[in-house]
Amino acid sequence: MPYIRVSVTQKLTEEKQAELVEGLGEAISVIPGKDGRGLIVDLEDGKTIYCGGVKQENFVFADVRYYSNFTYQQKKAFTVAVFKVFEKVLGTTKDKAFLTITEYNNWGGFGDFKDEYYSD
């Protein structure tokens, strides 16, 4: 159940939103066991974002959270895939796109709780 919050300076049409969500679903599939069917995407468009004290245009920041831990190579491949989606869908160049990844050992959803190190 990965979660991605995407903050974008652009105002997105419903079509662009759908295209972005679909692209992120494809990108998350680079990580073993993850796919777009369980992906939660929280889109925040039309945001005012400053970087280095300068108001940005066509800028995007993604906060990615998911259950489990993956290798450097898997996270790098995912990050590159996300930046390609941002460029294709939003026209946002790599110098205007940023992403963080937080990995969790536990996660709750569908009325249950999972932990990598403990079980019932």
Strand bridging mode 50-51 / 54-55 = antiparallel
pLDDT digits (tens, 9 = 90+) for 8-63: 999 999 999 999 999 999 999 999 989 899 999 999 999 999 999 999 999 999 99
Domain ranges of the chain: 3-111
The answer to whether the beta carbons of residues 21 and 15 sit under 8 Å apart is no
Q: What are phi and psi of 51, to 5 degrees?
A: -135, 120
User: For the chain, first and last CA: distance in Å?
Assistant: 20
Ramachandran region of residue 64, left (φ > 0), alpha (ψ -120 to 50) or beta?
beta
- Reported as type and span, the H/E element at residue 80 is helix 72-85
Across all residues in the chain, what is the average pLDDT? 96
Calculate mean pLDDT across residues 93-101: 97
Calculate mean pLDDT across residues 63-89: 97
The CATH homologous superfamily to which domain 3-111 belongs is Macrophage Migration Inhibitory Factor (3.30.429.10)
What confidence score (pLDDT) does residue 1 get?
77
The answer to whether the beta carbons of residues 33 and 78 sit under 8 Å apart is no
Q: What are phi and psi of 90, to 5 degrees?
A: -105, -15
What confidence score (pLDDT) does residue 72 get?
97
What confidence score (pLDDT) does residue 119 get?
83
- DSSP lists the bridge partners of residue 97 as 60
Residue 77 has pLDDT above 80, yes or no: yes
